[in-house]
Structure 1
């Protein structure tokens, strides 16, 4: 039986799980998995049948590398993460070498999703869910104004880069910090207003930041699966339940938000909506048009999100899906002997 060839470029290490979920699918479909990463010891590469080192380049050079990789290895389906927007803009180049790409092709939407403040304005216009109070700033004076406006409105304040990913660059403004105590404790994502203002004042301007109200309630990731036209097939709200615990909940408000997002934006295949409550109101943190970092926990619902997205992208139908909710899940480390010969140089 001919195996379908799938390629992951530079992903998070949890792609190790996603590759194995695709490989160990419920239909017995056969896959050969290829991967590249700039770090030869990245864990995701250990799940690949074939792995290569990728160059530390950007723009057209990176696209050329990926297209050439797909051509050389006759890749059937490419699942990108790094430089996903550039790849979305150039799907035609991959199609010319016979490779489908599992990515949202709405370039305008992708550009908004990569700049969180632009996407917030899109959500505000549509009115499909609540967003935090926020300001976009690029210099110290704007930062001070935003901080004062939010605190005067009764909010605690945090900030993060407009184009950041995950928790990178996220800070909570906390003026009660004790730096001496923190030296002997865990590293924290907190900073005083004075320290932040001093740092921002050291430069004339900096890349756009969102200064926003800090949300105090439960935090959820809603892992979603849609077909190639963006029709929602399944959604699993996953709540942070302390430490590594995650609760898969049949939360009607969040399932309705997932349906509204799917109808409004038509994001295909895998996407993830991050929400956090303020009192009784869930508010948007961000939307990622890809598999989330915690998707393997949501797969405990019985929905094999990575494989089903692949199946859809390859043109197969996916029948009615019925996630199991009410599941408390977690994860543990697993020791693994590294195959030092896994990665080849091209």
Structure 2
């Protein structure tokens, strides 16, 4: 196989590790890696051969700009994270210029972007914990009443936006106002329920959909899945409890993740997150994009990003047999921004090499 041109647009900082996995793919295929990000200090740009201008997602011609860049740089495979929905809706346009997408169908991307829509689509499933959505003060109070028996000191109610990434906006509700001891302690996600009521009242008609649900105890398991037209080719669970991590966990979860992949006809690299409710698996969310921790699956001996590229190009990635059981912890590392990949020629017009300020 000749070399493959791959573009990752704005992504997690940990995407720098995915780029490394692509560069050192098991088939030894030469790759030319492109990256773009609104923040020129993003670590992911340290792993690419060419930096591209990151189109602004809110621009009306965002997708047209993406298409132009793919055409200009003869991109073979695009892994979109920012603007995934807009790009997915124009998948045929990318195919017409020879650019394959690592991305689920647009309908699935749109549905899974909203946690309430996801739960509603799975109504009646044992995987769905109790939940309510509030868009006003009265609805918020009604949700509190409905879920009150599940609200204990050790298991508070959780509030989060139905649309959000990771833990953004996740808050643990408290019945009492914070005392001085809690105010002087570590910053945390606790918020007094009356504070939420006041904020909703102040926002008036501009309240986003807020999901309320009981706290789901851990451990939390994130299942990274490589899917092809609703069929799971590999499902690798990563379970965390505090700092401790293990590649594995509840043996039921990969199968449950596969059922969800089939239910929503998913494709590419996706992620399914589980916790527990009444000691049984409960779904947190399904992400239509690769997880920030996907690179950790390399410890199983399987290169999921490269297998996804193979699939996107219409090739058989071969058998994928992850070795589970590895225990690990994650730590921060240093990524020198002044050394992009060896032999790099920047494609970011008028941009100087990335620089970092000297430490004090």
Instruction: Quickly say closer, same or farther: Cα 1:336–1:154, change in 2 above 3 A.
Output: closer
What is the CA-CA distance between 1:71 and the residue it aligns to?
1.0
Q: Deviations over 1:13-38 (max 9, x none)?
A: 11101111011111101110101111
Q: Which runs of 5 or more structure 2 residues have no equivalent in the other structure?
A: 341-345, 351-360
Match of 1:344 in 2: 348
CA apart distance, 1:59? 5.0
Of stretches 323-332 and 40-49 in structure 1, the one that deviates more from structure 2 is 323-332
Secondary structure of the residue that 1:344 maps to in structure 2? Answer: coil
Displacement, 1:278? 2.1
Instruction: Note if contact 1:45-1:343 (Cα within 8 Å) is conserved in structure 2.
Output: no
Q: Per the alignment, do residues 72 and 182 of structure 1 end up closer, same or farther by CA in structure 2, a change over 3 Å counting? A: farther
In the alignment, which residue of structure 1 is the partner of 2:353? none
1:207 aligns with: 208
Deviations 1:99-153 (A, max 9, x none): 1111112x3222210111111111125x3x4112111111122111111211135
- Partners of 2:55 and 2:80 lie apart in 1 by 15
Provide the secondary structure at the position in 2 that maps to 1:252: coil
Q: CA–CA distance in 2 between the matches of 1:79 and 1:73? A: 15
Unaligned runs of 5+ in 1: none
CA distance in 2, matches of 1:97, 1:187: 49
2: CA distance, partners of 1:108 / 1:266: 10
The answer to whether the Cα contact below 8 Å between 1:40 and 1:343 also exists between their aligned partners in 2 is no
Comparing 170-179 with 265-274, which one deviates more in the overlay? 170-179
Deviation at 1:340, TM superposition (A): 8.0
Q: Secondary structure at the residue paired with 1:204?
A: helix
Report what 1:158 is aligned to.
158
Q: Secondary structure at the match of 2:175?
A: coil
Residue 141 of structure 1, aligned match among 132, 138, 142? 138
Whether the aligned pair in 1 keeps the contact of 2:6 and 2:77 (CA below 8 Å) is: yes
The CA deviation string for residues 270-319 of structure 1, in whole angstroms up to 9 with x for no partner, is 11101111232111110011210111112211121111111111111122
Task: Please tell me whether the aligned partners of residues 248 and 298 of structure 1 are also in contact (alpha carbons under 8 angstroms).
Answer: yes
SS of match in other structure, 1:60: coil
The answer to whether the 8 Å contact 2:57/2:82 transfers is: no
- Following the alignment from structure 2 to structure 1, what is the Cα–Cα distance between the partners of residues 57 and 287? 23
The whole-number CA distance in structure 1 between the counterparts of 2:21 and 2:115 is: 30
Decide whether the 8 Å contact of 1:297 with 1:330 is kept in 2: no
Counterpart position of 1:316 = 315
CA distance in 1, matches of 2:261, 2:150: 32
TM-score, reference length from structure 1: 0.92
RMSD: 2.0
Instruction: State the partner residue of 1:123.
Output: 122
Aligned residues: 341
The 1:338–1:177 alpha-carbon spacing in structure 2 relative to 1, beyond 3 Å, is: farther
Shift of 1:237: 1.5
Residues of 1 paired with 2:131 and 2:333: CA distance?
A: 40
Structure 1 residue 249 and structure 2 residue 253: aligned?
Answer: no
Residue 330 of structure 1 deviates from its aligned partner by 2.1
Structure-to-structure mapping, 1:1-346, within 5 angstroms: 2-58=2-58, 60-105=60-105, 107-125=106-124, 127=125, 129-154=126-151, 156-175=156-175, 178=178, 180-205=180-205, 206-227=207-228, 229-243=229-243, 245-249=244-248, 251-339=250-338, 344-345=348-349
CA contact (8 A) 2:2 2:29 kept: no
The answer to whether the 8 Å contact 2:221/2:249 transfers is no
**SS of 1:74 mapped into structure 2:** coil
The answer to whether the Cα contact below 8 Å between 1:39 and 1:53 also exists between their aligned partners in 2 is no
Give the 3-state SS of the residue equivalent to 2:181 in structure 1.
helix
Q: CA contact under 8 A between 1:59 and 1:86: conserved in structure 2?
A: no
| TM-score, normalised via structure 2 length | 0.89
| Of 153-162 and 270-279, the range deviating more from structure 2 | 153-162
